[in-house]
Structure 1
């Protein structure tokens, strides 16, 4: 086990035996398993034989639009009705929404109880479940309310990926691309030369978790270096937030981050950090994998305005993570609303 993964309590496995041993040794008084309608149907049946017979199943509705205080109240109420005490345990069986929100509920219930992240999507396996970021959205702002807390265990069961749709799998892959662009130029080269449809997902997950664990171990509370993990997210989060309530045009997280990475790579090129050839390779690789979003002219300014609420901002300045070169990123790079708008207009012209 990689020491950095150990520090983040991460296990990557092809079976559920170690998970069962961990829960047995922890011996919680009561267990609540949080699922959505998808993980209830596809993942819970795989996990159930490894759980104590008596446990509470809390089902919430899937989707980023449900990552709210209202849903938290539903979860807390069920935990309260079940009379869970401080020796209880929450198991979050789902993607980033369940991991973020379920962990937040666990760390705030009776001032904090044990919780396990069991990420079921590629996105949550390679990114969201590792590093202890927990939270919910507030109004139109992503992850506006939250905490930092390393889970008691992050159990990454690779076969859960077989339950995903092609769109969900591709969404998670955006974070894989991100990890390579900010920290591993050689792996980025390998990805470009590989066939996406024949990738070794266990290798992909192990690499991404190792990259993130190394960064998070150095800067657990995002005071500095950890901000490089937000490459693509300043503009990407703004795009995701803007279309969140539009049923016809809503994007998955990774789809929005893919666009954000292209736009922020463009800004890096405009500022002289990376060359045009690097920008072209990044753009061409991402553009061939992900659907193109049509951004209307009148939407550009509104999307740009949403970047003013980004959590990395300081002193009223929009702070972005930009590539210094492929495989290395710089955080706290100031950008303007006008530059955000220019990047979005550049993307429109691709």
Structure 2
């Protein structure tokens, strides 16, 4: 597959990944390599990664516990301290080997340590391959508020090696499908239709769909790298999805939600809002809801929690001057940003989701 070139980075796929990486390491003369992993990627992915590295380098491995709960400033502080203790300088390289938590967190740490060191993302989850590792967004959560602290700064390269997907449990694979479905809904009806029956996908189909998903996202972020206009499209499903994810993250008595599971709910609810406020048809909404629910079982959201979830919307990063803005759909494949939605209509979207 042909590498995908963005403004300041290149995404390589499968056979090209380690050829490109080894060539880069040989010529870049980094003083030390720091490989950031969590305990899962250390166990399941680290050996494969190291087996592909040619040459001898001064390498340190930094391992953290997995999960969104660890994507915070406290974890950053501990890693910054480790980097300092192990003599990391401005010629050091951070290699982030893991899912979205690792690529978001590791990118932010690299961008801020000594005012910035180079980093490379090697996403090992489907979600990170199609979303978190592409486009230069880095960051951490502030309490239960998603990605509130971060910077936009692209990695030296992204290596998408789909062999790592063989290590994932089913729910983690499904979490990534949510972002791929979103890419079709906001930008490409044909891609959405290709994604409409995941049960029929072959391995080759999946590789091509991952590639096409990255192409869609890269096209958007290359045109609008700092999210002034069309990059906001990528937040479809995320306004309500992030609020639901944040609420469940801080209520341990509730089920644990993966990012993609929360975004799937958000897409259905924001699809409903698109029908009510824009020009999505009833047929399109039914199709969207049916396809999403075929992969993501319905979550029973207690009506008593609705208002508390709505209160979290005020922290959404698209908001301006106290106004809450949504990304909605004119139709499948055509999105619109900066849409205002009343609390009454948001409550109706909860009711629609509950009715399915």
- So what's the TM-score if we normalise by structure 2? 0.95
1:271 aligns with 2:272: no
Structure 2 unaligned residues grouped into runs of 5+: none
1:164 aligns with one of 152, 164, 168: 168
Give the equivalent residue in structure 2 for 1:235. Answer: 240
Note the C-alpha offset of 1:204.
Answer: 1.2
Q: Is 1:281 matched with 2:282?
A: no
User: Residue 10 of structure 1: SS of its match in structure 2?
Assistant: strand
TM-score by length of 1: 0.96
| Aligned pair partner of 2:192 in 166, 188, 201 | 188
For 1:177 and 1:141, how far apart are their aligned partners in 2?
A: 24
Q: What is aligned with 2:41? A: 39
Kept in 2: contact 1:321–1:331 (CA 8 A): yes
Structure 2 match to 1:256: 262
- The offset of 1:7, in angstroms, is 5.1
RMSD across aligned positions (CA):
1.5
Q: 1:111 aligns with which of 108, 115, 118?
A: 115
Question: Deviation per CA, 1:242-261, whole angstroms, max 9, x where unpaired?
Answer: 00134451200000000000
Does the Cα contact within 8 Å between 1:117 and 1:155 map onto a contact in 2?
Answer: yes
- For 2:354 and 2:197, the matched residues in 1 are separated by 27
Which structure 1 residue ranges, 4+ long, deviate > 6 Å from structure 2?
none
**Equivalent position SS for 2:337:** strand
Deviation at 1:17, TM superposition (A): 2.9
Q: Is 254-263 or 158-167 further displaced after alignment?
A: 158-167
In the other structure, the counterpart of 2:102 is 98
- State the number of aligned residues: 350
Measured in 2, the distance between the counterparts of 1:189 and 1:227 equals 23
Once the two structures are superposed, residues 20-45 of structure 1 have per-residue CA deviations (whole angstroms, 9 ceiling, x without a partner) of: 22222222101100000100000101
Stretches of structure 1 lacking an aligned partner (at least 5 in a row): none
Change (3 A) 1:289 1:3: closer
CA-to-partner distance for each residue in 1:252-278, whole Å, 9 max, x for gaps?
A: 000000000000000000114200000
Q: Mark the CA change 1:306 to 1:64 in structure 2 (over 3 Å): closer, same or farther.
A: same
Query: What is the aligned partner in structure 1 of residue 213 from structure 2?
Result: 208
